[in-house]
Amino acid sequence: MLSTAHIKKIRLLHQKKHRTESGLFIAEGVKVVAELLKSNYNVKEILALPQWIDQNSSSLPANLQALPLTPKELARISTLSSPNMVLAVAEKPPDVLPDYTKVTGFMLMLDGIADPGNLGTILRTADWFGVDTVLCSPDCVEVYNPKVIQATMGSAFRVKTIYTDLAQVIDEIKGLVPVYGTFLSGENCYQTKFGSKGAIVIGSESHGISPIIESLVQKRLHIPTLSPGAESLNAAVACALVCAEINRASLIKI
């Protein structure tokens, strides 16, 4: 049986403040926990229904035992409205700032993405298209928010997500890597000739790209519409369409 203190300790991780203080976060559900266990994240604790433990205990690392709990106990510590078998507590990895001037390929820069589902979907899409670095402005939602982790379906553990001052990074890479941004007007992205590297800025759901970053973008991209009435796309969808277009030559050959 879980002690009240133990339940309380895990429930504190539902809040950003306590995730920041402890350096820990929660990942939940069969698929997401499986991906966490495949990653090089340091998993501190697994709490699961007996069925999950029966099926998975043999594949757990030697230093990690799963604590059995009842569906009622799982519901008390879960962040989900329908808890799914297993909950893990893991350590956030240390922030390692890459040398941006040496980045190869494309990276994403998210300017104020506030919706957890959108950030999660963007990381899942980045992973799909082989984008390994996603820079987030400090006002983006936290990647260890449980809703973000769930929406990534495990991609959060493969894509490097770094919170940083985007203007400063653009200043470092300008002249070395083209900086694109998606706007409601600009060059048709289906006519753009993308090179082998670059940075793509995606603006926030409500305000688009912020004025400071907008002034630093070198190439304004636009995703054309076939409808007279539609005015904008969801940020994660816009991001996916640009990622696909950048990589289209490789995608055709797969």
Residue type at position 234: N
Nearest partner of 139 among 55, 213, 42, 52, judged by Cα: 213
Give the three-state DSSP class for 247.
coil
Interface region with a copy of itself, contact rule CB under 8 A, candidates 13-21, 64-72, 172-180, 239-247? 239-247
Q: Which residues make Cβ contacts (< 8 Å) with residue 208, sequence separation at least 6? A: 183, 184
- Is there a contact between 139 and 112 (Cβ–Cβ < 8 Å)? yes
Structure tokens at 177: 């890597």
Please identify, using beta-carbon distances, which residue of 165 and 187 lies nearer to a copy of itself. Answer: 187
Q: Write down the least CB distance from residue 188 to a copy of itself, Å.
A: 6
Residue type at position 55: Q
Interface region with a copy of itself, contact rule CB under 8 A, candidates 65-73, 93-101, 152-160, 178-186? 152-160
Site string for a copy of itself, 183-212 (x = CB under 8 A): -----x-xx---------------------
Residue type at position 53: I
Structure tokens at 87: 């909950």
Q: Does residue number 56 form part of the binding site for a copy of itself (CB under 8 A)? A: no
Q: d(Cα 177, Cα 180) in Å, to the nearest integer?
A: 10
Interface region with a copy of itself, contact rule CB under 8 A, candidates 43-51, 176-184, 196-204, 226-234? 226-234
Please identify, using beta-carbon distances, which residue of 69 and 202 lies nearer to a copy of itself. Answer: 202
Considering only residues 68, 93, 117, 186, which one is a binding residue for a copy of itself as defined by CB under 8 A?
A: 117
Nearest partner of 39 among 76, 90, 82, judged by Cα: 90
Residues near a copy of itself (CB under 8 A)? 38, 117, 121, 124-125, 127-130, 151, 153-155, 158, 188, 190-191, 223-227, 229-234, 236-237, 240-241, 244-245, 247-248, 250-252, 254
